[in-house]
Amino acid sequence: MSPPQTAARARPFRDGLLRLDPPRLLGSHCPACGTTAFPSRTFCPRCRAGDGLVETELGVEGRVHSFTVVRQAPPGVEVPYVLAQVDLPADDVRLMARVVGVAPEEVVLDMPVTLELAPFGTAEDGTVLLGHRFTAAAEVAR
């Protein structure tokens, strides 16, 4: 299977946050203590090492640790939506992200979710800006 060609130009909404093909979040890994952090850090949040941190791709499979249903938002933002703390067990990382693919009332703790990239906006030059979110995984697709 060949990778799909993207017609419109796209890039992460923030440099260094994610990789587009294949979709992966980018964190930093500390060889000194083994801690992985997201987003990427210039020093280790656990042992404070400032040297030797390496960029690392995070796993795409997560679990909902906790969540809230957002019902009020600025104009232009569709509500309700689910904002969750998602654990990535393969990396021992917890991050904040939207969860999509199910109705808010169907989200439960420990629900399996999978990373996906979605348009986040458009840059002044027309480039599509992509951000990360997680979709409820009814079954493991990969």
Contact set with Zn ion (CB under 5 A): 30, 32-33, 35, 44, 46-47, 49
Task: State the nearest-atom distance from the C-beta of 38 to Zn ion, in Å.
Answer: 14
Contacts by 51-54, CB closer than 8 A, 24 or more apart: 53/28, 53/29, 54/28, 54/29
Task: State the nearest-atom distance from the C-beta of 34 to Zn ion, in Å.
Answer: 7
Judged by CB, which is closer to Zn ion: 45, or 80?
Answer: 45
Judged by CB, which is closer to Zn ion: 30, or 136?
Answer: 30
Judged by CB, which is closer to Zn ion: 33, or 103?
Answer: 33
| CB atoms inside a 10 Å sphere around CB 102 | 16
CA of 2: how far to CAs of 22, 28, 134, in Å? 12, 29, 24
Position of tokens 């969860």? 99
Judged by CB, which is closer to Zn ion: 36, or 114?
Answer: 36
Task: State the nearest-atom distance from the C-beta of 96 to Zn ion, in Å.
Answer: 22
Task: State the nearest-atom distance from the C-beta of 27 to Zn ion, in Å.
Answer: 13
* DSSP-assigned beta bridge partners for residue 82: 69, 99
